[in-house]
Amino acid sequence: MSDTDLTRIDPGELDSGGALPCGWYTRGEIFAAENQRIFRKMWQYVGHAAQLARAGDFFTATLGDVPAVITRDDEGKIHAMANVCRHRASEVVLECSGNRRTLQCHYHGWTYNLDGTLRAAPRSSEQRSFPKDRLSLAPFAVETWGPMIFVNPDPDAPPLASVIGDLPHLFGRAGVEVEKLKMIRRDVYEIAANWKIVIENFNECYHCPIAHPKFSELIDTDAYSADVSHEYYSAYHGPIIGVPGAAVDYATLWPTAMFTLSAKPHAMQVLRAWPIDPGHTRVTIDYYFAPDVSEAEIHDYVALSDLVQREDMVLCESVHRGQRSAMVPRGHLMLSRESGIRHFQRLVYRFVAGA
């Protein structure tokens, strides 16, 4: 992609409500730039600690176009590394999750320890000089926040705290104690839309009275507010109708994590947009609940969430088809209701264009 393509946007247009050009949601070269300049450099939610409950537990994930494997070793330490063999670049682990004493590549049997160091390679003794110590799996940075696991492909990345900032305080104000929550369910949705459309849809409730009638019976969408004063996250507050002082809070953490926070029931959803290609996104919703939440409360909470997500899928796929048509060069935001989208699009432009 040429510099001309990248700098075509006037940042002032983003400030005044002009949206990113539709081509930024459909062009392969933009998606390639996002993989290099966003997903290989930023912290991303990948899962929860219960997935690594025992020594030897592992699960796989993707960070843009980068395959990753996350493990817990015999000393209890969590590791994250590229799921790419140092021999011929095959993925080492094909399973989504499991328990292993070692990680053995399915292609030629190169075997790695749970910390990614090379343990053995068949026929390596036949080589006059085999640089075993230099052939570990590429290490990634990994940190936890409560039961949540975040990974950054850059092993020298600044700490997770530099990105989440005072987001934990927002969780506290919302009445959500992350350390007390346990993840009990993951739902997966395949959406024929660009990942940015999914995030932007989450970042506004301007559409809620029209598209989410059941949700809008519970949340006062007229009083729905946004806080976009933070560098890497935006926060949203939706008062519950008829319950003074009660609300549902939301947050979007750059680039792909979204949170729904509830004090009654004491629960949290972590939504993650997993970019597949310019026109397809996998969305996972991890449901976390406090131990005292009843089965009936869980059922009702998940049912409403699933309804809203399926309604949103229709919206996101419709937007992507419209953008792909190129009949509208770019949209124009209603900033009184969509400041969260502007906050997000400024970050996209900043990272992709280096501005």
Q: Are 236 and 216 in contact (CB under 8 A)?
A: no
Structure letter (DSSP) for residue 52: G
Question: Given this model, what pLDDT does residue 2 score?
Answer: 46
Rounded to the nearest angstrom, the gap between the alpha carbon of residue 8 and the centroid of all alpha carbons in its chain is 28
User: Could you list the pLDDT tens digit for every one of the 355 residues in the chain?
Assistant: 444 454 468 888 899 999 999 999 999 999 999 999 999 999 999 999 999 999 999 999 999 999 999 999 999 999 999 999 999 999 999 999 999 999 999 999 999 999 999 999 999 999 989 999 999 999 999 999 999 999 999 999 999 999 999 999 999 999 999 999 999 999 999 999 999 999 999 999 999 999 999 999 999 999 999 999 999 999 999 999 999 999 999 999 999 999 999 999 999 999 999 999 999 999 999 999 999 999 999 999 999 999 999 999 999 999 999 999 999 999 999 999 999 999 999 999 999 998 6
The amino acid present at 206, given as its one-letter code, is Y
- Secondary structure element (H or E) that encloses residue 340, with its range: helix 335-353
- Measured from the Cβ of residue 133, the count of other Cβ atoms closer than 10 Å reads 8
Residue positions counted in the chain: 355
Is residue 316 helix, strand or coil? helix
What residues contact residue 146 under an 8 Å CB cut-off, 6+ apart? 178, 179, 181
The DSSP line for 126-160 is GSSS--GGG-PPPEEEEEEETTEEEEES-TTPPPT
- Measured from the Cβ of residue 161, the count of other Cβ atoms closer than 10 Å reads 13
**Tokens at residue 337, please?**
């209701």
- Please list the residues that pair with 233 across neighbouring strands: 253
**What is the DSSP pairing of strand 182-191 with strand 225-227?**
unpaired
Place of tokens 């026109």: 279
Q: Is 74 exposed, middle or buried (0-12, 13-18, 19+ CB in 10 A)?
A: exposed
Rounded to the nearest angstrom, the gap between the alpha carbon of residue 50 and the centroid of all alpha carbons in its chain is 18
Question: Given this model, what pLDDT does residue 8 score?
Answer: 67
- Taking Cα atoms as reference points, which of 13, 8, 48 lies closest to residue 257? 48
Domains of the chain: 3-26+174-353 (3.90.380.10), 44-161 (2.102.10.10)
Q: What is the spatial distance between Cα 225 and Cα 341, in angstroms, rounded to a whole number?
A: 13
Question: Given this model, what pLDDT does residue 144 score?
Answer: 97
Question: Given this model, what pLDDT does residue 1 score?
Answer: 42
- Measured from the Cβ of residue 84, the count of other Cβ atoms closer than 10 Å reads 18
